[in-house]
Amino acid sequence: MLSIFSGVFDKYPKLKVLFVHMGGALAPVICRLDWNWDLNYKGIQNPPIQKVDKNLRRPSEYFKSNIYVDTMGPSVIGLKAMIEMCGVDRVLFGTDFGPVPMSPKLHIDLIDETIADAGDREKIFSTTLALLRLAESAPHLAPRAA
């Protein structure tokens, strides 16, 4: 969150970061962070804390411009919350396959079973490839033509 509150995204608006594991616990607290930012920037006399926020926009707005989240964390509620908070275009496919003995199929099934729209499911998988430029380095991973 320091990257938001320090104003780094305002200073470097093209900077993109990935918050793994469905963004941690951010979905349920983002409204509280926005509320606190509103207190600091709405001219309230004697706020309860010293104004330390340097960001120019509400914290939730950076999730639609500078921040990506992944689908690691087998939670239907978490996945829906990330899509609501960030938009489906900012959600990437993620898995801990390798260090955690959990099949990637679990995460693929989560997306397939949770997201009704085939185009939105494809966005999650293809955004990962495009953002990480995997499609260029491994063409066999590129989405198949419909």
| Strand-by-strand arrangement of the 67-70 sheet | 17-19, 67-70, 91-92
- Model confidence pLDDT, tens digit, residues 19-64: 888 888 788 889 888 988 887 766 666 655 656 678 889 999 999 9
Residue 118 has pLDDT above 90, yes or no: yes
Q: Which domains does the chain have, with CATH numbers?
A: 2-141 (3.20.20.140)
Residue 85 has pLDDT above 80, yes or no: yes
Q: Mapping DSSP to helix (H, G, I), strand (E, B) and coil, where does residue 50 land? A: coil
Q: Mapping DSSP to helix (H, G, I), strand (E, B) and coil, where does residue 18 land? A: strand
Residue 128 has pLDDT above 60, yes or no: yes
